[in-house]
Structure 1
Amino acid sequence: MGAAQNAAAQDAAAGQRVFNQCRACHTIDQGGRNGVGPNLHGVVGRRAASIEGFRYSANMRELAEGGLTWTTENLNRYLTNPKDVVPRGSMAFAGLRQEQQRKDLIAYLEAQK
Structure 2
Amino acid sequence: MKISLNGFGEAMATFEADSGVTAGMPVKMTGNGAVGACAAKDGFCGVAVSVRDGFAAVQLRGYAVLPYAGTTPAVGYQTLNAAGGGKVQVDGAGRSVLVTDVDTAAQICGIIL
TM, length-normalised to structure 2: 0.29
Higher strand share: 2
TM, length-normalised to structure 1: 0.29
Higher-Rg member (1/2): 1
Higher helix share: 1
